[in-house]
Amino acid sequence: MHMPKDFTIQRQQLVDLLQQNGISDERVLQAIAAVPREMFIDSSFQPMAYANQALPLVLGQTISQPLMVAIMTQALQLSGREKVLEIGTGSGYQTFILARLCQHVYSVERYPQLSDQADARLDQLGCANVSLLIGDGSIGWVDHAPYDRILVTAAAPHVPAQLLEQLDMDGFLVVPVGDQAQQELQVIQRTHSGMQIHSLGRCVFVPLIGEDAWR
């Protein structure tokens, strides 16, 4: 009988690595420690499930490097009460981490195959506070707006205007902005006096394809 591999030690080593790299939000660290990343990747890559690197998915997409997931999630400053819009469901790994840290996640994915696979994984893990939509992430999901937080997990040539419109006052939007080779990870807070933007440094993501992004 083939026994499933136990990743407990690797998962803890990853959490230690994240702490060494400046991740201090205890709730984020606990969520990453609790989520089985091996369930969100192709079986051939499972031995690398807790390596600190992005891994390939189908359709040329990727599951983000764990450190980048932690940086982006920490930047959202989640307390547990928020309604979060995620652009780019992908494997569902980031989605599940968000779901453990907020009230409800609305996640948009342009590829039906990825969305369906993520839905099955989240269902298997008993994740009930996520709603999925197959569609154009660059225009958001207006039906449930406004959102307290918006997380974009693909590279945009500029900040999509409709995402800013769907962000609630005092909310945070985290998005990689730049060309298709390299981007800057921006955290944008919507305030009464306008948008406050600060950078979390350079990053590389797959392109955001859509009406208000890359064609």
Catalytic residues: 64
Angle 66-75/8-20 helices, nearest 10 degrees? 60
Tokens of 65: 């490097």
- Single-letter amino acid code for the residue at 122: L
H helices of 83-145, where?
93-101, 112-124
CA–CA gap between residue 171 and residue 147 (Å, rounded) = 7
Q: Yes or no: say if 108 and 86 are a contact pair by the CB < 8 Å rule.
A: yes
The candidate with the shortest Cα–Cα distance to 173, out of 148, 136, 137, is 148
Exposed/middle/buried for 10, CB within 10 Å: 0-12, 13-18, 19+? middle
Phi, psi for 214 (deg, rounded to 5): -75, 140
13: which residues sit within 8 A by CB, 6+ positions away?
A: 50
